[in-house]
Structure 1
Amino acid sequence: MKTELYKKKKKYLHNGKNDGFRKIQPPVFAAIDLGTTNCRLLVAAPTPHSFSVKETFSRITKLGEGLVTSGELSERAMKRTVSALKLCAKKLEKYKPEKVRFVATEACRRALNGADFIKRVKEETGLSLEIISFEEECRLAVAGCVPLINRNIRHALVFDIGGGSTEISWAKIDEAGRVKLEGMLSFPLGVITVSEAFTGKGLSSAGYRAVVRKVRSYLEPFEAEHSILEAIEQGDVQMIGTSGTVTTIGAFHLDLPYYNRSAVDGLALSFDDLAKAKRRLEKLPYAEKVAHPCIGPQRADLSLAGCAILQGICDMWPIGEVTVADRGLREGLLLDLIRSGNGRVVGKAEHEK
């Protein structure tokens, strides 16, 4: 990105009319994060230190529904997702972004027909998605969470509980505040895969404990490799959670009358707060979860599955507090586009579709 855009002296361009000159508008960038549960769009323009949001869109599509059983993306799930992506494409027409990057994660990585679905999306929406590795997913998620990292702490443990998998990132922060990834882990437990493994409208107590144990079994080799507990004992680790599970728990804990990103993003939740929220969720009848403004019908059957995965992480690494991040991969994509010039330049023909 050219630094001239950020100079205090404003640049103007003659518009060919008698009213003189118009201000040059900064370029617009766009990112799509297509996960196992959600489809998310972010459109933004660069600012001196970050970006200014022009438009956001998020829809629960449950693309990975039934994937564990069949090994493939179902027709119903693909139709829901294509419908959401068509809305994204329509929104993008208004902004004509200069550079874009649209990515798909675990569901498309795992599905036998994942590549075919990417072709279908291109044919039906005009959007070019790329299936990224879990390592790239971790890198981008951490990049999106950097504004929430406490620069006085030397390590960050960032987790993302998705629909089909959970990613863990272990990062070191140097004295200049630079973040370096030192370890990444992905394991095949997410809110959809766990909820589908247990029939009904929620987990039994035994099922919940089984999920917690399974999560720990995936985390123990990662702990052995990176000695995270030693850093925790020194009070030198910040835990950050970026996922619908954590943001939902945050909003539920605050008893918000409706979901409010500004109240949730950056919220510090103690492990006691998490435990209390989990107990309240357990007691809440399914119909009340559906009606709850911060849970709703799309997450009612996923909330306890997310809590079980979260508890497994917290039990493994008893930091005592988690920072809630209503940001992550999507924001990381945008920052990457702005700072490094990655992404695909959109041609005129694509804008005119």
Structure 2
Amino acid sequence: MQTGTLGDVRMPTAPIAPLAAIDIGSHSALLLIAQYRHGHLDPVVDLARTTHLGEGVVASGQLSEAAMARTLMVLRDYGQILSQYGVDHPVCYGTAALRQAQNTATLQQRVQQELGWSIRVLSGEEEAHYTFRGATAQIPAGGAVVIDIGGGSTEVVMGQQGHIEASWSLPVGAVSLRERFEICDRIPGPIAQAMDVYLAQVFQSIPATTLPLLVTGGTPTTLAALMLNLATYDSRRIDGHCFELEDFEMLYDELNHLSLHQRADLPAMELGRAMVILPALRLLITLMRQLRSLHLTVTVRGPRYGILL
């Protein structure tokens, strides 16, 4: 056992308990268990499970009973994992779906009653702040633009030397975009054009930049896994993977030629990701064009990392 000193007395030092965060998003719920060492978070467990919590929220303004049941089932599983690591009270937060839904309190109450966890609903500004903090914590000092493509919103944060200079929390994400344009399988050319026009309007307030781009979220990590021909998710290989804009355009064309079932069968395709990968790609391509940037770097460290720092 490690020991510490108190005067001349050697005192045992208890192991530092791990930290944990659960991100309840519109498309998936994420679990991070990490040790804080030397000013950095060292992930021990980093999981994502598809919930489709935001399904139908754009049209109805409500979290459906089925979506809440799926989310609770995932959270129960996470609770069992957390207990194995001695974590009783994770930092639990929600993003776009819980900001937009009128019955968010229903899910909060059920989670509190069953698991004893309080779900904090982040504002768009808070989500952008934690996204930037998590994504930039381990990069050299300098400026960056951090992009987080979620299911119901997209955060874009510009900053220098660890300080945010401007941020945008935009009410469009992979799930909401798919629902708005009623995409079930492939995206026909006219729909893609209409989507691009809509996205250009959403992003029009964001200025072009010469700063390097960092992108986080399930879409870019899945795309990196596809480009690397990974059979399973490997965060160490995905983190830091670089893309050119033309890579995304090529991937969009290739994936749009496949049926939904064919996309779902790709080895690196996360369960449920095949349904939203195409609208998310169109979003990412349009945003890169708006920023006038030809390349970016993928980071696995999003707001769940930032909220623990």
TM-score w.r.t. the length of structure 2 is: 0.91
User: Cα–Cα, structure 1 residues 245 and 63, in superposed 2: closer, same or farther, change >3 Å?
Assistant: same
Give the equivalent residue in structure 2 for 1:215: 199
- Letter of the 2:148 counterpart: D
Of 206, 220, 233, which residue of structure 2 is paired with 1:246? 220
Identity among equivalent pairs (%): 29
- Letter of the 2:261 counterpart: A
Of 40, 47, 66, which residue of structure 2 is paired with 1:50? 40
Unaligned runs of 5+ residues in structure 2 are none
1:30 and 1:101 in contact (8 A); partners too:
yes
Q: Distance in 2 between matches of 1:41 and 1:59?
A: 9
Alignment of 1:1-353 (within 5 A): 10-11=2-3, 24-97=14-87, 100-147=90-137, 149-151=139-141, 154-173=142-161, 179-197=162-180, 198-223=182-207, 229=208, 231-232=209-210, 237-335=211-309
Aligned-residue offset at 1:98 = 7.9
CA-based RMSD of the aligned residues comes to 2.2
TM-score w.r.t. the length of structure 1 is: 0.81
2:89 and 2:117 in contact (8 A); partners too:
no
Aligned-residue offset at 1:301 = 1.4
2:245 and 2:285 in contact (8 A); partners too:
no
- Letter of the 1:171 counterpart: G
Q: Tell me, what secondary structure is at the counterpart of 1:300?
A: helix
Aligned-residue offset at 1:212 = 2.0
Q: Tell me, what secondary structure is at the counterpart of 1:258?
A: coil
Aligned-residue offset at 1:95 = 2.6
Aligned-residue offset at 1:54 = 3.0
User: Cα–Cα, structure 1 residues 171 and 74, in superposed 2: closer, same or farther, change >3 Å?
Assistant: same
1:36 and 1:64 in contact (8 A); partners too:
yes
Q: Of Structure 1 and Structure 2, which has the larger fraction of its residues in helix?
A: 1
Q: Determine which structure has more spread, i.e. the larger CA radius of gyration.
A: 1
User: Cα–Cα, structure 1 residues 319 and 199, in superposed 2: closer, same or farther, change >3 Å?
Assistant: closer
Moved beyond 6 Å, runs of 4+: none
Provide, for residues 299-343 of structure 1, a one-character-per-residue CA deviation record: whole Å limited to 9, x for no partner: 1111101011101101101221111111201111222xxxxxxxx
Aligned length: 304
Unaligned runs of 5+ residues in structure 1 are 1-9, 14-19, 174-178, 224-228, 336-353
Q: Distance in 2 between matches of 1:120 and 1:138?
A: 27
